[in-house]
Chains A and B, each alone.
Chain A
Amino acid sequence: DIQMTQSPSTLSASVGDRVTITCRASQSISNWLAWYQQKPGKAPKLLIYKASTLENGVPSRFSGSGSGTEFTLTISSLQPDDFATYYCQQYNTYSSFGQGTKLEIK
């Protein structure tokens, strides 16, 4: 099975900050990686697929990069609505998620 490891687990930041979340796969997954945002009590929302393709309607301050085993999600200028938990997901072989990164207000 492919293990996905996110870092950090928690990130404290302020409105306007640029933040980066990292996701590592235990083996190569090419670019079959997605990023999700989840808020309490809600279903996850797809932000990025194929490592770097922005889902329709997602603000351009979100971007993704990487291939193989190392991936990043960057938010260029944090907005109040962005404080949430973020998950990476591989869908190269079956599927598996990272453990999540909680983005908190500093």
Chain B
Amino acid sequence: EVQLVESGGGLVQPGRSLRLSCAASEFTFSNYGMNWVRQAPGKGLEWVSYISSTSTTIYYADSVKGRFTLSRDNARKSLYLQMNSLRAEDTAVYYCTTGSSGFTYWGQGTLVTVSS
């Protein structure tokens, strides 16, 4: 069974940094583009970023462009989201997700809270 396990969330002060990780198992990680999607408390889903299988293509939502950096390590079957200059509006559950058409597989999410 495909597994995606996020980690690295927590409470962080505005302006500080945090790095999220997503560990993948039970599928050929290196064949799939990967995404982060976030959900603020009581709000809807927001796509954050995408990275292609070989890291040659990376996209970001306008709301995080210039502050977040997405990367992956196919040998370690891991996805990373470096989040800098965090703001209160970045507070959300962050999901790692992938699929061939639509997002079939999702992790359980990791909560990031930006607050002083």
Contact = CB atoms under 8 A, between A and B. Distances in A.
Interface string A72-106: 00000000000000010101001111111000000
Contacts of B37: 97
Given A43-B95, A43-B109, A46-B104, A95 B44 contact: no
B89 interface: no
Contacts of B104: 46, 55
Contact of A94 (B59, B97, B109): B59
A43 B107 contact: yes
A34 B101 contact: yes
A99 B44 contact: yes
B62 interface: yes
Interface of B: 35, 37, 44-47, 50, 59, 61-62, 95, 97, 99, 101-104, 106-109
